[in-house]
Every structure is written in structure tokens, then in C-alpha cells.
Structure 1
Amino acid sequence: MAASTSEASGRPSSRRVAVVTGAAAGIGRAEAIALARAGHDIGLTAHADVAGVEETARRCEALGARTLVTPADIACGEDIRRLVAAVTDAFGRLDVLVNNAGALGPDLNRPLVELSEELWHRMLDSHLTGTFLCIKHAAPVMIARGWGRIVNTASIHGRVGGRPTLGHYGAAKAGVIALTRTAARELGGHGVTVNAVSPGFVRTHQLEGTLGPDRLRALAGQVPLGRIGDPDEVAAAVVFLASEVASYVNGAVLDVHGGRMEYV
């Protein structure tokens, strides 16, 4: 697994350092850019779309951030160990972890009786196992400094559950919520808070490719605000949870869904 550095040069950072997984596009890109704008240096990772994550890095650098791009398979413990080591070697610290990575795929909707074991495991590996591995390897760095912020990505499907044909996705995201609350209790005494954002429908290329424009328009009509969310709106919630302002927020799941609370 090769790492490419852009502005990071191995000298310690005087700014807080945030790692954003799944940062090649969409919500992850918006989160990385928002954190760069808020004054963080940025470690970025994506599995397949290296060109996309490098473009995210360029946009962060335009805001004055030093960046490090490290391709990684989010469900591979050794990749995540190397990611954390690369970030700490480059910047001398790791303060904020944003667990955004998680694939949907074109074959997302499947009734349970038609759901293959392969698709079940792929969904849980991408959304839940990857989140666990990132916490496992990043938390010790934060504990050593006595300060840290971890923000996971849940979903309204994990909050409500029960949506037909999305049992694997809902189960993975419900697991993320449970993991968030356990990690918050285990790490809070070390100065590390762990929270999650729970987006509703947010306009990304991945969602548009999965649902299509007609379905998105229909869903927008079911949201009290009358529209689909924007990645920047999720990113704003992440910046809040990663900040000093949220110092007493721990184990929370922050909904960012425009008021649409029922997905069954």
C-alpha cells in the first residue's frame, strides 16, 4: 500500500490533524474540505478512487492545509495500522478521526431471503468493521495525547431500521451506533469523545447512481424541508463534533435528515 504526500513532510504539525476515510467524493470530500477550512491538516484515504482523493487533497491544500494521501482497504486491519502510522509519522499527531468510508454498490436492495452471504459480509465489512478498525488503531494515539475526537457515520436506517430490502445496510449502521456508544464510554475518561452523524438522503454521485433522479425527486417531497440534503450540511455537523465547542458531547448521534424521521 503506497502513500503519497503532498504538503506533509514529516515535520510536526502545530495544527490539529484530522483523518477522513472515504474522502474521494461526496460527504467525505465535503468533510475533509470543511475541516481544512476550520484549520486542520488532513490525512485522507480511499480504496479504489485514488485520483478522487488526490483531488480532495488539492482542494484542502488550497485552503492552507498540509495533506497526506494514503490508499487503504478500510476493512483490512494492517492497512489501517499503516494509515495511522503514516499520519503520525508525517504530522506527529492525530487529533480527529472521521469514519466516513462505506460502499453501497449497484446491487444494494435485496430481500433477506435473496441476500447473498457475500453481500451481507461486504456491507458489514465496509460500514461496521472498517469503523471498528479505525477506532482500534487511532484511539491509542489520541489517548497518549489526552485529547481526541472521533466522528462515525451512522444513518437514519440504523436509527429506525425495518426498511424492506435494506436489512444488511440497516444492521451495519445500527452496529455503528452501538459501537459509537461503547467507544464513548470506554474512551471518554481519556479525553476522547466519540459521536456519530446520522444523515438522511444526501445528494452524492453514489446515491444518485443507486436511486436515480426520479426516485430522488420523489424522496425530496417526503422531507419536511422539501429537498435532499447537501454534503456540506453533513460536514458542518462533523466540524461541530470535532471542535472544542462540542467538548461535553459524547456518545451522541446527531441526525442530519431534514426532519424525515421515518424510513420504513
Structure 2
Amino acid sequence: MSPQGTGESWEDDAHRVALVTGAAGGLGGCIAGRLYDRGYRVALTDLDAEAAAAAAAELDPSRRNAVGLALDVRDKEAFVRVRDQLTGRWGAVHVLVNNAGQSKVEPLMRISPESFDAVVTTNLNGTFFGCQVFGAYFAERGYGRIVNIASLAGQNGGTATGAHYAAAKGGVATLTKVFARELGPHGVTVNAISPGPQDLPVVRETVAPDRLAQIEASIPVGRLGRPRFIADMAVLLAAEHADAVTGACWDANGGLYMR
């Protein structure tokens, strides 16, 4: 069932609503901004409610087409609350981007049970809960787009991140396939994007310059990835006419991993 079947028109951009998790800044903020630029009404959610609200206000000072909301992706019921808030505000949700994540660089043999659980719960459980709650909602409506942000670390085992992060992101890629198979017959596509190292402020702030230079030198194209391009990939996968793509994982790693 297409959006037109519910009385909505894709010619009217105001009818498209997207939710992006972990969107107070970084890659999530970039994705939310690109969706907004393309005419979506956008909900920027984050564990930091104030930062999410500030990011939304920067996008749209009128607050008509962008809103910042609190969302702890580790809590399934939090997704339910946000879904209800958005349907009450804008009538429907069409796109979910599961971007929220947590990364730690820790020696493999020194990762504590608590640290492993914290990273996996945010990255993997958060994606699972989002896909569950919004997958069921989209399936009931007969239409939806889910885009999960995976990682190169989940494909090659990680070289600059912790094992917990790499394991969780590998799980995100697998969950993408599982939900794609389940939801495909109901007009819902589920895809993943797997970025390599990105040129983000947090990267330049936390990685020592000499180490960053080594990372860039190891990338075949010779530079960190552009977050805006990852955002463009998300916009394309969220498109109404992207119905032939589901269960896919699109790579953007500068040639670090080829298959």
C-alpha cells in the first residue's frame, strides 16, 4: 500500500515525516538537516533533550517543521512515546533513521562486562527496539522506510574502535536483513549504511593529529569520509521510489573494505 492509499500525496513535502535518533549533532544532525532540506518534517531525538531541541530550533526557528525530543534508545517504551508524540503532532511518521550510538576505544582484554553491555545496548538494542516499534507501525500503515547506521567496524572487526562497538555494528547489519525480510511484504524497506571513518568534529577533537594522519594515509582515497554524503545516502534510501532496495548495506569507506 502506497502513501497515496492513505490519502497522502508525495507531491506535498509537508506530508513526509522523518525521525532521526542521536540527532543533536554529528552524523545524526547532518542526516536530519539533509532530510529537512529535502522538505521533510524532521524529529531530532537524542538522550540530551536540550541539545536536540537546540538543534531543531537551529534548523527551523518557527518550530513548525522540526522538533527536538528526548529519546533513550535503550528503552523500547521511549520509542513508543515518541511515535505517539509525532503522530499526534504531524499525523504520521514515514521514515526512521536509527543513528544513535556509543563508541569506546578500549583494549580487547580490558573491556569490562559493564562497558561491553553499555555499548551493545545503545548500538544494537537501540536499533532493534526502533525497528520493532516503527516496523510494526509502518507495517500496519502499509508503508515505511527504515535506515540503520551500521559501520565499517562491523564488517572488518574494527581497527580504531573497541570490540564491543564492532560486534554491535555487525549485529546491526544482520538485524537489517532480518527486519527487511519480515517487513518487505508490508510495504516497508529496511536498509543499512556502513560508513568508514568520517570527517566529524568529534573525530578531530578526540583523535591525536598523528594518529589521524595515519588513518587518512591508510584510506585508499586518501581522506576521511564526508558526512553530507552519508546523509545523502540516507535520503535516497528513505525515498518513496526506493522500494526495490531492502536488506542492503551500502558501503562508504573510501576503499578500506571492498567486496
TM-score (norm 2): 0.88
Q: Aligned partners of 1:236, 1:72: CA distance in 2, in Å? A: 24
Deviation at 1:136, TM superposition (A): 1.2
Deviation at 1:83, TM superposition (A): 1.2
Matches within 5 A, 1:115-126: 115-126=111-122
State the match for 2:24 in structure 1.
24
Which one-letter code corresponds to 1:120 in the other structure?
A: F
- Is it true that 1:167 corresponds to 2:163 in the alignment? yes
**Bigger shift: residues 134-143 or 251-260:** 134-143
3-state SS in 1 of match to 2:71? coil
Gaps of 5+ in 2: 1-12
2:29 touches 2:44 (CA, 8 Å); kept in 1?
no
Task: Label 1:248 to 1:65 Cα distance change in 2 as closer, same or farther (>3 A).
Answer: farther
- Is it true that 1:261 corresponds to 2:257 in the alignment? yes
State the match for 2:47 in structure 1.
47
CA displacement, residues 33-73 of structure 1 (integer Å, 9 cap, x when unaligned): 1111111101111103x343223212432699612221121
CA displacement, residues 6-34 of structure 1 (integer Å, 9 cap, x when unaligned): xxxxxxx9421000000011110110011
State the match for 1:79 in structure 2.
78
| Seq. identity, % | 39
- Is it true that 1:141 corresponds to 2:137 in the alignment? yes
Task: Label 1:18 to 1:112 Cα distance change in 2 as closer, same or farther (>3 A).
Answer: same
State the match for 1:61 in structure 2.
60
3-state SS in 1 of match to 2:59? helix
Gaps of 5+ in 1: 1-12
2:14 touches 2:40 (CA, 8 Å); kept in 1?
no
Runs of 4+ in structure 1 deviating by more than 3 angstroms, as ranges, are: 62-65, 162-165
Q: Aligned partners of 1:144, 1:103: CA distance in 2, in Å? A: 31
Q: Aligned partners of 1:65, 1:206: CA distance in 2, in Å? A: 30
2:44 touches 2:68 (CA, 8 Å); kept in 1?
yes
Which one-letter code corresponds to 2:170 in the other structure?
A: A
Matches within 5 A, 1:179-258: 179-258=175-254
State the match for 1:6 in structure 2.
none
1:20 touches 1:45 (CA, 8 Å); kept in 2?
yes
Q: Aligned partners of 1:217, 1:55: CA distance in 2, in Å? A: 33
3-state SS in 1 of match to 2:165? helix
Q: Aligned partners of 2:193, 2:244: CA distance in 1, in Å? A: 16
TM-score (norm 1): 0.87
3-state SS in 2 of match to 1:196? strand
Q: Aligned partners of 2:230, 2:64: CA distance in 1, in Å? A: 20
